[in-house]
Structures are given as C-alpha cells and as structure tokens.
Amino acid sequence: MRFEVRALSAANQLQTVLLDAEDEQSARRAAEAQKLRPVTVRRVQAKGGARGRSKAFSLVLFSQELLALLEAGLTLVEGIEALVEKESSPVARSIMESLLGRMREGLRFSDAIALQPEYFPPLYIGIVKAAERTSDLPRALTRFIDYQIRLDAVRSKIVGAMIYPSILFSVGGLVGLFLMGFVVPKFAEVYKDSGRDLPWASQLLLSWGNFLSEHLAIVLGMVALLIAGMVVGMQKMNREGRWGQLFSKLPGIAERVRIIELSRLYLTMGMLLEGGIPIVPTLEMVSGTVSANTRKSLALARADISHGDPVSKSFEANGLVTPIALRMLRVGERSGQLGTMLMRSALFYEGESTRWIDRFSKTFEPALMALIGLVVGLIVVLLYMPIFDLAGSLQ
C-alpha cells in the first residue's frame, strides 16, 4: 500500500513524501527512518501503477525533452513552460501545467511530481530527489532514460517472443473449430447414408462434430466467455505482478525467470546507488518492482544490512545473487563502486537472457506449429479413413 506522509524535515520545512508500507504505523516508521517528523499520514489510492500509467503521457519522452532543454541552458521552470507550450495532448499538458503550478507555489520538483504518483513512479521521484541534493538533474535524467530504455528492450523482447505463438495458437484453434463444427458434420451425413461400418476413431470424431454442430451457439458462447475470462485474468495478474510467480513454478523456465528478475533488480539498484541514494532507502524503493517472494527476501536482506552486514553477505544469505553477481558485489564493496558493479551484473545477465529468449522462441514456435499441424492433420486423416477403406474394398 502507498501512503502520503506530510512531515517536517530536520530544517523544519514541511514536505510531502510517498512511501510504500504495509500499514499506517509502518509508513510513520519509514518516514522517521528518513529523519522526518510525520504530521499526517494518508493512504493513497493510486489510479494506476507503472503498468497502468496513462499512455497519453510518456515519462521517458518527457524526461528526454526536459533533458534536452536543460542541456540547452534553460532553467527547470523554463523547460517545463516550453514543454507545456508545445504539448498537444490534453492529458500530458494538464500534468505538466499541474507541475508548473506547484513549482511556482514554491514546491521542489521532486515534491511536485510526488503529488502525481499515477504518472511518476517512486523510483523516478527518488532519483530526482537525490539529484536535487547534488544539483545535477540532467545526469539523473540521463541515468533514468538509459535505465528505462534497457527495461523496455527486455520487455519488448519477451512480448515479441509471445506474439507469434499466440497468433499461431489462435489461428490453429479457429481452424480446428471450423473443421469440427462445419466440415465434420457434412462428412457425417455422407457416411450415414453409405450404410458402412466406420472405424471407431472416425465414429468418435463424427460424434464430436455432430455435437458441436448441434450446440454451436452454446459452444461459441463458452469459447467467448473463456477468452474473456482469460483476458480479465491476465490483466489482473499484470496489475498485481503475479506473472513472475506463475512462471517461477514452470519447470525449465523458473530459473531463467529468476535470472531476469534479478537482472532487473540489479539494474534498478545500480541506477539508484549511482544517483547518490544510500543502500537502505534504495532497497525500500526497489521492493515495489519485484515479485512477492523476492520482496520477502529483499526485506530480510535490508534488515541484515541495516544491522551492519555487507550487501554481498546479506544477498547471498537470502538467495538474491548468482555466482557471478556475488563476485561482482564483493569487488564493488572493496572498490566502493557497488552501483557500477550492480549495473555490470545486470548488463551481463541481460545479454544472456536475450540469447535465451531467442533460442526459446526459435524452438517453441516450430514445435507449436508442428503440434497444430498434427492436430489438423489427424482430423483430416480420420475424416478420410472411411473413404480409404471403401477404396480398398472396391479394389
């Protein structure tokens, strides 16, 4: 759950921060851990998470355009003013006008975007807040853009690997339904008038075809309901982030899914650490980007690190490392470049995951095509088997 905490800073300035916590008391403790004195704590019902963010507003495009204006010499307020003037989308224009209005009232950029959590995720707010302490917002925006492009590249690779099998499976199902609902009943009428005994497999096929033909409306309705249920279920799983839990139970895929998730974890942590955010707040921020099981392990690791344990030891004890990542973490701790080593670990496993996805799609797609061809071919063979028998008897 997400909570909006209005609190006083060490300089007695009123700030508004967004925190992810299990309940109100946990949110208060998290604010106090950031040296804030909570005044009010209110639960926020976000309109959408990272997956449900409005398509009319692209955070990456906004960051790229703002970065270009800042590097051209404009101030932050002038840059957002220029973006408002050129924006044609009503949604994006409204978001940026809201930001501009709050900044003119005296709020910092990080506080202004924190009031719109449906468009600006906690990670973005975190790196902006860290950049404000070092007055290096362009570098932070560059880091976020690179991070998001890498994530989108992996996501696009996975989605692209799923599109063709989905289309193939849908077309194969429609062809099979057409054969069973329309073609098979026509053959059943012909064989019924022939007066010949049919092979039992052909009889079974024809009986199923007749059943589908007689109850076609009901069958089509059930298929439509099944498809609608699958779509709703997939959307719910997507919102709740339960795809990782599902794939983690599949043999042969579970370990690869774990590697992909750890790669994303390392990439996110590396970006935040290089942005100047301490390790414990970093772990709190990234907890919302991982699955439930990994989140539990991350909470245990965060507790160990808070008590003074090294990051590599805590991650190893809670199953958050691979052998290569563990070695890189130890090197990063010795050299003081933990963020850099996490980024390198992520890049290493990104390349490995990309190659695995390519191999999987090149193997799975032909196998699925062969399976669909086998099913359709079996239907055709069973349909024509009585004709083959008749031709043999005539000879």
The fraction of the chain above a pLDDT of 70, given in percent, is: 86
- The pLDDT of residue 7 is 76
- The pLDDT of residue 168 is 83
- The pLDDT of residue 201 is 78
pLDDT, average across residues 13-36: 74
CA 11 to chain centre: 39
Q: Give DSSP secondary structure letters for 299-321.
A: HHHHHHHHTT--HHHHHHHTT--
> If you average pLDDT over each of 48-57, 73-82, 274-283, 291-300, which comes out highest?
73-82
In this predicted structure, the answer to whether residue 366 has a pLDDT above a threshold of 80 is yes
Starting at the edge strand that comes first in sequence, how are the strands of the sheet with 14-20 ordered? 14-20, 2-8, 37-44
| Phi and psi at residue 309, to the nearest 5° | -75, 150
- The pLDDT of residue 227 is 82
- The pLDDT of residue 270 is 87
Helical pair 137-178 and 254-274, crossing angle rounded to 10 deg: 160
How far is Cα 267 from Cα 346, in angstroms, rounded to an integer?
5
pLDDT, average across residues 321-342: 90
CA 86 to chain centre: 31
- The pLDDT of residue 147 is 84
In this predicted structure, the answer to whether residue 55 has a pLDDT above a threshold of 70 is no
pLDDT (tens digit per residue) in 135-163: 788 888 888 888 888 878 777 777 777 78
In this predicted structure, the answer to whether residue 51 has a pLDDT above a threshold of 50 is no
Does 49-120 match 136-395 in CATH topology?
Answer: yes
Instruction: Pick the closest to residue 114 from 106, 105, 122 (CA basis).
Output: 122
Superfamily of domain 49-120: Type II secretion system (T2SS), domain F (1.20.81.30)
How far is Cα 77 from Cα 17, in angstroms, rounded to an integer?
21
pLDDT, average across residues 253-271: 83
pLDDT (tens digit per residue) in 165-174: 888 888 888 8
> If you average pLDDT over each of 75-79, 219-223, 283-287, which comes out highest?
75-79
Query: Under CATH, what is the fold of the domain 136-395?
Result: Receptor-associated Protein (1.20.81)
- The pLDDT of residue 327 is 92
- Domains of the chain by residue range: 1-45, 49-120, 136-395
Better-scored residue on pLDDT, 244 or 74: 74
Better-scored residue on pLDDT, 13 or 376: 376
Q: Give 4's pLDDT tier (boundaries 50, 70, 90).
A: confident
Query: What is the model's pTM?
Result: 0.62
